Homo-oligomer: A and B are copies of this chain.
């Protein structure tokens, strides 16, 4: 019996109409397939929060000033951000990674700083090819370590300006017009939205990124945290560590993964459909389905954390419900 059938057979033995737990059944199935076990455990949970700055903020693409990236890293350390609240509530260990934040890396943050922010990709490449490879390698190494310590890892991010990078990646890989790949991000107005679309358009015209060259695209228009997340997924896939990607920006790292090693996407659990308008298009290109939509667009890993919590509930049902036989309940007629 295949692993999929084994999982489905367990679900169908439980006292409920077949399939009636919908996406909870699908979520357990995906987790089991990645782990390679029909009755996987889930005890040790991490949330990796990859942080970096973006030169493209100079193009006026964000509602918040650049220093907010650094300030939010401090907020993560002090436990005051949304992701901290959810991690405490769900028993998830937060791991803060500096992949390229401007300024010194505070104690308590893992220092994988590639550089003090990317360059403005609307005027020149975001980073060198070597830096792109370094960011991927940083993620791979963290995944190798994470696989020994955790059963699952969420991947979230913080970086003022990074929805613009994610939109640029979406346009580069899918050919989607920048007007359709950009969205309001942290809440930029219509003028800012126009500036975002123009910055993406300038970047695509300038760099002509080749969708077959994932590292090249990352170097041209990506971000250090996005590269690190892509590397994290690549490293996790080799070790059967499920990675729960968050929203629009985290998912954009999967675009790079798909270009480098498409099979690694199988180790990803996509979580929610973000309110960022182009996220649906991105998920469709990745042939991925989100489990739910709560119109969230906060990042940090907040959607991943809620999905890990949902998975734990789904596993509790899968493990804890009585079977028809155990409960003496009649089956379908």
Chain A residues at the B interface, C-beta cutoff of 8 Å: 14-24, 63-65, 67-68, 71-72, 74-75, 78, 80-82, 85-86, 88-89, 185-187, 275, 291-298, 302, 306, 309-310, 312-313, 316-317, 320-322, 326-333
Contacts and interface: CB of A to CB of B under 8 A. Distances in A.
B74 A16 contact: no
A64 B330 contact: yes
Residue of A187, A295, A306, A331 with most chain B CB atoms under a 10 A cut-off: A295
Contacts of A75: 15, 322, 327, 329
Given A75-B327, A82-B321, A186 B17 contact: yes
Given A64-B330, A64-B332, A80-B322, A20 B294 contact: no
A330 B17 contact: no
Nearest to A89: B316
Given A15-B81, A86-B317, 9 more contacts: A15-B80, A15-B82, A16-B298, A22-B297, A23-B294, A63-B333, A64-B331, A81-B322, A291-B294
Contact of A316 (B18, B65, B86): B86
Contacts of A326: 80
A21 B298 contact: yes
